[in-house]
């Protein structure tokens, strides 16, 4: 059992947080079941990004085609 504050906030009891794996920063959702009960559900994180998705956009400004050609020909 918990009490609602004047701001509409509640504290989720520790045993419930532990059971659901809720930690600071976790997102939760409230859903209504067919029988009318309201259920607290942790929001699943998006699937982990692949190694390539994590690196996308981190290479900085790349070489131009002319620079690449000069590099492969040993002119740089």
Classify residue 25: in a domain, yes or no. yes
d(CA 69, CA 76): 10
pLDDT value of position 11:
93
Classify residue 6: in a domain, yes or no. no
Reported pTM: 0.51
Here the tokens at position 51 are: 């190694």
Specify the number of domains making up the chain: 1
Classify residue 2: in a domain, yes or no. no
d(CA 28, CA 34): 19
pLDDT digits (tens, 9 = 90+) for 18-30: 998 899 988 999 9
Classify residue 8: in a domain, yes or no. no
Range of the domain at 28: 14-72
d(CA 50, CA 53): 5
pLDDT at 68 over 80: yes
pLDDT digits (tens, 9 = 90+) for 24-66: 988 999 999 999 999 988 888 766 667 666 666 656 677 788 8
Here the tokens at position 4 are: 């609602």
pLDDT value of position 65:
87
């Amino acid at each position: 059992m918990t009490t609602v504050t004047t701001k509409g906030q509640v504290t989720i009891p520790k045993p419930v947080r532990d059971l659901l794996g809720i930690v600071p920063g976790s997102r939760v959702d409230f859903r209504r079941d067919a029988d009318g009960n309201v259920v607290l559900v942790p929001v699943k994180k998006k699937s982990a990004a692949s190694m390539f998705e994590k690196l996308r956009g981190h290479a900085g400004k790349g070489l131009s085609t002319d620079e690449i050609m000069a590099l492969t020909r040993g002119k740089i």
